[in-house]
Homo-oligomer: A and B are copies of this chain.
Amino acid sequence: MSETLNRSVTFADVEAAAERLAGHAVVTPLIESPALNARIGARVLIKPETLQRVGAFKFRGAYNRLVQLSPDERKRGVVAYSSGNHAQGVALAAKLLGTPARIVMPADAPAIKMAATKAYGAQIELFDRLTESREQIAAAISAETGAVTVPSFDDPHIIAGQGTVGLEMVRQAQALGAEFDQLLSPVGGGGLLGGITLAVRALSPRTTLWGVEPTDFEDLRLSLEAGRRTAIKPFRRSLCDALESAVTGELTFPILQANLAGALAITDPEVAEAMRYAFETLKLVVEPGGAVGLAALLTGKLKVQPGQTVGLVLSGGNVDPELFAQVIKGEV
């Protein structure tokens, strides 16, 4: 643990991750909707990580971490805890690399995420969100089997892997002759946004960066305001199962603190409205946590000057059909 946290993560790590991911992760396209552009009055370049392997960006970081395991570590396997997308990313990366994976998941995780994690061959250990500690369960597995713990965000290799999203976005925008005035991404623990920040700061210093989190899970906003990592005590569930983190990471917070313009907060009804917009107009399946950036645009919570170019990350699309059906019918 301390070994991991003792070293910082840099843009060079993101570049190295991109080389490791080449041919393994999908280079998702950067797409554009004239209808969305017209509605926002700006050019919105969308990075649909919904089209990534496992339906979310999480494969990038997981593969970048697991491909660097030593031969001995590969034999012992990995253990991770996650409500779903990191679980799938680790499970698929482990399958591709031939290493056993054990995943600690809450018993109420979305069924689609649990089924996919199982389908990739991982062994799932369920826990009760209210009475058990996933950290303790994972630590016990690691102690018993020697498995390497793969954190969901606070790890330099994970952050560097997720950062390839930002690297691709800047280069794809350049290929269109564009540069981002602003860029916004969902944020939970900060692995994705931290990695993106490293890439964007290096390649496009003038871009303003924003994190978007669910209301009542505004640990990033509180931390930025306090000037130090500040945990929240969740008192409700969010529609955004992927963004219910209680505190930004030790490694990710300094990166975010030094580079973000701020954090925006989105309510559940605003998320549902953004998912409907993605269904009706963009024709994309986006999960609640993946749609908060789009919601920040549609609600006007992100202030956009006419004619600006805005980068938008749709981070995942793993949503149960029952919930998606309710959302598109306007019942949520």
Interface residues of A (CB under 8 A from B): 26, 28-29, 31-35, 48, 50-51, 53, 55, 112, 276, 279-286, 317, 321-322, 324-326, 328-330
Contacts and interface: CB of A to CB of B under 8 A. Distances in A.
A283 B29 contact: no
A55 B324 CA distance: 19
Nearest to A279: B285
A32 B32 CA distance: 18
A28 B32 CA distance: 9
Copies in the complex: 2
Contacts of A26: 31-34
Contacts of A33: 26, 51
A23 to B, nearest CB: 10
A213 to B, nearest CB: 22
Given A284-B283, A325-B325, A329-B322, A35 B53 contact: yes
A48 B51 CA distance: 12
A55 B282 CA distance: 8
B317 A328 contact: no
Contacts of A284: 283-285
A27 to B, nearest CB: 9
B50 A34 contact: no
Nearest to A115: B280
B50 A283 contact: yes
Contacts of A324: 279, 325, 328
29 contacts: A26-B31, A26-B33, A28-B31, A29-B29, A31-B51, A34-B53, A35-B53, A48-B283, A50-B283, A55-B281, A55-B283, A112-B280, A279-B285, A279-B321, A279-B324, A280-B321, A283-B284, A283-B286, A283-B317, A284-B284, A285-B285, A321-B328, A321-B330, A322-B329, A324-B325, A324-B328, A325-B325, A325-B328, A325-B329
A294 to B, nearest CB: 14
A26 B279 CA distance: 18
Given A29-B31, A35-B53, A283-B286, 16 more contacts: A26-B31, A26-B34, A28-B31, A29-B29, A31-B51, A51-B282, A51-B283, A276-B321, A279-B285, A279-B324, A280-B321, A283-B285, A284-B285, A321-B328, A321-B329, A324-B325
